[in-house]
Chains A and B, each alone.
Chain A
């Protein structure tokens, strides 16, 4: 007989081995999933994303859930962009934004100056956009556009309820082309239409004139390279005409170059702090995780002071931002001027744009700055973009009279200038 005990044992061994093989196959999934992060638990009808999951894993899980479970069809790209916008908005910083690829393109070309305008600055208005400033000799000026006009339609498309940025983007276009504006003007029953040719705008940044009673009025529209020189010239001219007091109008000034502001302030302050800037240091090899803030000071220049001690009022409003707020804040902190008007916009930070591989971009705040007295005036908003805090409060609040058409510096229509004029006169 071939069947010995040994053979039986051997047969049994084979069966066990085969069983083990089966068991290995059966249990393979458990070995695989042993390292996987936890899934979804059904707790009282609530699905929970496991806290032990990585943020990107949790994001993917919720992204997939919304994409596959929502009752309507969802475009995965739109959903992704909406997610990024929401994520960046969670920082509560109005100047840190995510741009989806198409918007990023438009943003870049605007910075590079491929778009041309009509030479006017616009502010918010429920009916469209209110004209804040019209530049001398610009196309808009020649076409008859005036400060205080409200643009209600662009190329016959109604603009009520639109954001100012949107309206500006509709007005801008290729050089030489035209745009049709429909304008509402105080005192005019009929809407006015005008056709304006777009052109490269060279903006005068400073304009000065003498008001009654030898009060000088200097408007600063923005802070660019020629601004300090133009400012200097305007003031020198007014002083030579016997100026006894000065109103500096920063209303509607969106800011610009910080160096310009500090050069202008050097007229009054000798190597004084303009702002303290706090940046985030790049991680280094020696401390890859610890990032101490880098502090820098911007100061006025040495030996440029030529202060004739006449009274000064700086006018600001909610459209005064960045360098304009710094200028007003420094004048206030060193007690050289009274600030009048409305609470300013509140921009005390520096941004940079980082491009993503898909053409999208992230504009983000990389530094913030403080006024000489230590005040941080940066605007804070909630996730919906609604204002929470920020801005420079004027020493004396004066709201404009919006029932009248006004031209800056015209005392019978510009209520804020009128109040400033009265204050300056009282301090002669």
Chain B
């Protein structure tokens, strides 16, 4: 070998090595991508790509925490408290009824509640009866005022929507639909009372009301405000802890439609929501854990199955999807919409059940979240017969003309044990063309959404 050939070989080897490294990188990347697509939870398809921003929020967070730690009069021992405070602020800032922050104790209780184990007085409470949230910023309020719609706003109230059958509240005589007016002699804050003033003041100005009447009302609300508790705090006190007692004042609609006030004293204690149960052709189906497997066994060889979805408030959306796989043939069963996603994401049943049984569903106002999604999907896309009452959000959805969707949420736990639920999309029982093509099509920024078909429990 002469010198020329030698250096040529060396160069070839060197570049060969270089190419090998690059190939290695590329192969890995492709493989990872395939794996990611395979592993990816469906919800990530809904998320928008993150926008590039100038300063990382983490730096901003750090600079504020450093100021607090250096100058605040008391020692701030842990960052975890500041972190969960910041997350609490963000969740509150979303002003979304389906996105909630939970304190450490509340989140622990909430996780147990999802599996049917209740603390407190054995109730599931939600904000009911409202159309929208009240305006919270000054601009929003000014806007609402200009449009003159502030008095029309219907504010949600803290309401008992489900009870554990043998729990403390049920034993004391509390019922579904009861509105919490006060807790331990503290009025549960309700800005409806303040809005009433705007209206009374107008009447006074129009001379339909005397000053004495107006002033009496003014003093009454002042007294209420002096001793009040925020609704979220009241909810925490009613659902956390298994000892002690609470004094409740409850608003209940009497048979003549007029609200009546009732007083209760309830001892806190553990109680349970009914779990998975098969009785003949009837299946009670709480949506958590591996109920889909149990369901599969339960319906084996049956031509007709009744599914009881009452007292089903905190189901898990993914579990619901797996149950759907057991109950229906492959196909599209509605879609998840989000303002953020480019297009609606179809709820697809992939393998499915080729020979499903005839389904009958039992629902009522305590059929909520994932259970309501399941019932809505089954009633819209199969011949399932729905019996019972109106479901949790059904009246609201119908009244909104399909504008309100059934929230799909994800749960996140923070290092100090607190946590939050985040509404990432809304379920709709409709199959729009945009939803069908969502996967391949990169449409405009806003998801075109077709008419919602709503069939419900009757």
A residues near B (Cβ < 8 Å) are 14, 17-19, 21-29, 42-51, 53-60, 62-74, 76, 78-91, 96, 98, 125-127, 150, 152, 157-158, 160-162, 166, 184, 186-189, 191, 278-280, 283, 291, 349, 352, 354, 356-358, 362, 364-368, 382-384, 386, 402-403
Q: Write out the residue numbers on chain A whose beta carbons fall within 8 Å of the beta carbon of B64.
A: 84, 87-88, 98, 356, 362
Please encode chain B, from 72 to 96, with 1 for each CB lying within 8 Å of some chain A CB and 0 for all others: 1111100111111111111111101
User: Is B6 at the interface (CB under 8 A from chain A)?
Assistant: no
In the assembly, what is the distance between CA of A301 and CA of B455, in Å?
81
Q: Would you give 16 A-B contacts (Cβ < 8 Å), ordered by A?
A: A17-B13, A18-B17, A22-B27, A46-B411, A49-B414, A55-B62, A69-B47, A71-B423, A71-B426, A83-B57, A90-B86, A90-B88, A160-B197, A184-B201, A191-B204, A365-B72
Q: Check B340–A73 contact: CB distance below 8 A.
A: yes
Which of B160-168, B220-228, B295-303, B381-389 is near enough to bind chain A?
B220-228
Closest to B27 in A: A26
In angstroms, how far is the closest chain B Cβ from the Cβ of A66? 5
Within 8 A of A (CB), among B1-38: 13, 16-18, 20-28, 32
Which of the candidate stretches B48-56, B125-133, B430-438 sits at the interface with the other chain?
B48-56
- Chain A positions within 8 Å of B218 at CB level: 125-127, 150
- In the complex, what residues of B have CB within 8 A of residue A90's CB? 81-82, 84-86, 88
Asked whether, in the complex, the Cβ of A45 is within 8 Å of the Cβ of B316, the reply is yes
Q: A58 contacts which chain B residues (CB < 8 A)?
A: 83, 414-415
Q: Is B219 an interface residue (CB 8 A)?
A: yes
A28 and B71 in contact, given A17-B13, A22-B20 (Cβ under 8 angstroms): no
Among B172-180, B205-213, B360-368, which stretch is in contact with chain A? B205-213
Q: In the assembly, what is the distance between CA of A304 and CA of B286, in Å?
A: 78
B375 on the interface (CB 8 Å rule)?
A: no
Which residues of A have CB within 8 Å of B75?
Answer: 291
B416 to chain A: closest residue by CB: A51
Binding stretch for chain A, among B229-237, B256-264, B268-276, B304-312: B229-237
In the complex, the answer to whether A28 meets B407 with C-beta atoms within 8 Å is no
Known: A65-B412, A364-B67. A25 touches B59 (CB 8 A): no
B5 CB to nearest chain A CB (Å): 12
Q: Quick check: B17 and A386 within 8 Å, CB to CB? A: no
Q: What residue in chain B is nearest A64 (Cβ atoms)?
A: B50
Does B407 contact A83, Cβ atoms closer than 8 Å? no
Q: Which residues of B have CB within 8 Å of A352?
A: 71
Smallest Cβ distance from A124 to chain B, in angstroms? 8
Beyond A29-B32, A70-B94, 15 additional pairs, beta carbon < 8 A: A21-B17, A26-B24, A45-B319, A58-B415, A65-B412, A73-B340, A79-B90, A82-B89, A83-B57, A86-B86, A87-B85, A161-B197, A191-B205, A386-B230, A386-B233
Distance between A12 CB and nearest chain B CB, rounded to angstroms = 13
Q: How far is the CA of A74 from the CA of B93 in the complex (A)?
A: 10
Residues of the B chain whose Cβ atoms lie less than 8 Å from the Cβ of A191: 204-205
Residue of A nearest to B289 (CB): A44
- Bound-state CA distance A88–B63 (Å) is 13
Q: Closest B residue to A21 by CB, please name it.
A: B20
Q: Provide the bound-state CA to CA distance between A267 and B303, in Å.
A: 95
B53 A364 Cβ-Cβ under 8 A: no
Contact of A88 among B62, B85, B91 (CB under 8 A): B85
- Check B43 against A49 for contact (C-beta < 8 Å): no
- Within the complex, the shortest CB–CB distance from A150 to chain B, in Å, comes to 8
A187's nearest neighbour on chain B, judged by CB, is B211
Q: Which residue of A lies closest to B88 (CB)?
A: A86
Contacting pair B340 A72 (CB below 8 A): yes
Contacts of B316 in A (CB 8 A): 45
CB proximity of B288 to chain A, nearest CB, Å: 8
4 smallest CB-CB distances across A and B, nearest first, come from A86-B89, A25-B24, A90-B85, A82-B93
**Alpha-carbon separation in the docked complex, A19 to B316 (Å):** 47
Task: Please give, as numbers and ranges, the residues of chain B lying within 8 Å of A184 by CB-CB distance.
Answer: 201, 204, 211, 214
Indicate whether B145 reaches chain A with its CB closer than 8 angstroms. yes
Chain B, residues 188-217, CB within 8 Å of chain A (1/0): the string is 000100110110010011010011001100
Contact B73 A69, beta carbon cutoff 8 Å: no
Q: Which residues of A contact B373 (CB under 8 A)?
A: none
| B:389-431 near A, CB below 8 Å | 407, 410-415, 419, 422-426
B70 interface contact, C-beta 8 A: yes
A184 to B116, CA, bound (A): 54
Residue in contact with A80 in the complex, picked from B60, B87, B228, CB distance below 8 Å: B60
Q: Are A59 and B27 in contact (CB under 8 A)?
A: no
CB contact under 8 A between A23 and B422, given known A68-B48, A84-B89, A87-B65: no
